[in-house]
């Protein structure tokens, strides 16, 4: 009996050690921040809209013979760089928990591929956070992003049309993660941005833009794009003059 009790106590001690020795990524995702599973019969609003409205509209616009030729959204990739995490491990933990709250899916820490002495970065150190959304979670995130997150941006006049890469992919940069209503501003340690890439099956920029427009993506008007381009040219010219004067 004494031997059996000793074995049980040893097993309990091993279990406690394993729980305490969990990696930092697993510790950060607590019960409060764990992504909740979607209901079985849940169908995202944009998914049903794509089948009923968007497919016939794009087929008519581009005169596709088959509805299978209509471009569709493959995945949404979200990346966030956290360079400060080299000095403090808690920063990457906070970024992981915030990303899981925003996307509803457990993120992964991105590791440095090589040593960079100037930035005090070693190979294998976590320097960012990334997550890839597909299927229902992808449509659900897109719906929240367009309907609730983008209107919360200060002085928002639409997203730029210059984020297309010519292969059906569109990337947009977000400067503040607090535009998502799921984030509690009081608990945010530092304002951080992120890059969101929408990967589609479109063959060119026109198809990808029309697909995102049908989903409800608010692109800027041509007048606003021209004003923004002129402003950028002005500030770049002023910066060049300042650098020349400083060299003299």
- 166-210: per-residue pLDDT in tens? 888 999 998 988 899 888 888 888 888 899 999 999 999 999 999
**Is residue 76 assigned to a domain?**
yes
Percent of the chain with pLDDT over 70: 71
Question: Do residues 158 and 220 touch, judged by C-beta distance below 8 A?
Answer: yes
Spatial CA neighbour of 161 closest among 70, 110, 223, 236 = 223
**Is residue 235 assigned to a domain?**
yes
Of the pLDDT bands very low, low, confident and very high (cuts 50, 70, 90), residue 31 is: very low
Q: Report which DSSP code applies to 220.
A: P
Q: Report which DSSP code applies to 103.
A: H
Q: Residue 142: which H helix or E strand, with range?
A: helix 135-144
How far is Cα 168 from Cα 200, in angstroms, rounded to an integer?
5
Question: Do residues 136 and 42 touch, judged by C-beta distance below 8 A?
Answer: yes
**Is residue 1 assigned to a domain?**
no
Question: Do residues 102 and 180 touch, judged by C-beta distance below 8 A?
Answer: yes
How far lies 154's CA from each of 70, 121, 242, 243, in Å? 34, 34, 30, 31
If one counts the domains in the chain, the total is 1
Percent of the chain with pLDDT over 90: 41
Whether 239 has a pLDDT exceeding 70, the answer reads: no
Residue 139 sits in a domain of what CATH number? 3.30.1440.10
**Is residue 56 assigned to a domain?**
yes
**Is residue 134 assigned to a domain?**
yes
**Is residue 228 assigned to a domain?**
yes
**Is residue 12 assigned to a domain?**
no
pTM (global) more than 0.75:
no
**Is residue 15 assigned to a domain?**
no
**137 is written with which tokens?**
């979670």
End-to-end CA gap in the chain: 89
In degrees and rounded to multiples of 5, residue 181 shows phi and psi of -65, -15
**238 is written with which tokens?**
């002023």
Domain membership of residue 149 as a residue range:
23-34+43-242
């Amino acid at each position: 009996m004494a031997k059996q009790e000793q074995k049980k106590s040893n097993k309990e001690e091993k279990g406690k050690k394993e729980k305490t020795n969990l990696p930092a990524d697993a510790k950060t995702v607590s019960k409060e921040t764990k992504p909740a599973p979607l209901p079985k019969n849940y169908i995202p609003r944009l998914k049903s809209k794509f089948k009923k409205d968007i497919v016939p509209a794009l087929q008519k616009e581009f005169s596709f013979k088959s509805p299978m030729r209509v471009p569709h959204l493959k995945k949404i990739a979200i990346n966030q760089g956290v360079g400060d995490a080299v000095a403090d491990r808690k920063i990457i933990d906070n970024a992981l928990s915030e990303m899981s709250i925003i996307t509803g899916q457990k993120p992964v820490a991105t590791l440095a591929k090589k040593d960079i002495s100037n930035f005090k970065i070693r190979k294998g150190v976590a320097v960012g956070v990334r997550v890839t959304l597909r299927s229902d979670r992808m449509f659900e995130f897109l719906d929240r992003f367009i309907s609730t997150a983008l209107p919360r941006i200060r002085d928002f006049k639409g997203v730029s049309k210059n984020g297309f890469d010519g292969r059906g992919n569109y990337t947009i940069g977000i400067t503040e993660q607090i535009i998502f209503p799921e984030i509690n501003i009081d608990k945010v340690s530092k304002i951080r941005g992120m890059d969101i890439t929408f990967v589609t099956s479109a063959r060119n920029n026109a198809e990808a833009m029309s697909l995102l427009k049908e989903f409800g993506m608010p692109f800027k008007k041509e007048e606003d794009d021209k004003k923004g381009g002129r402003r950028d040219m002005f500030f770049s010219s002023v910066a060049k003059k300042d650098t020349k004067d400083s060299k003299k």
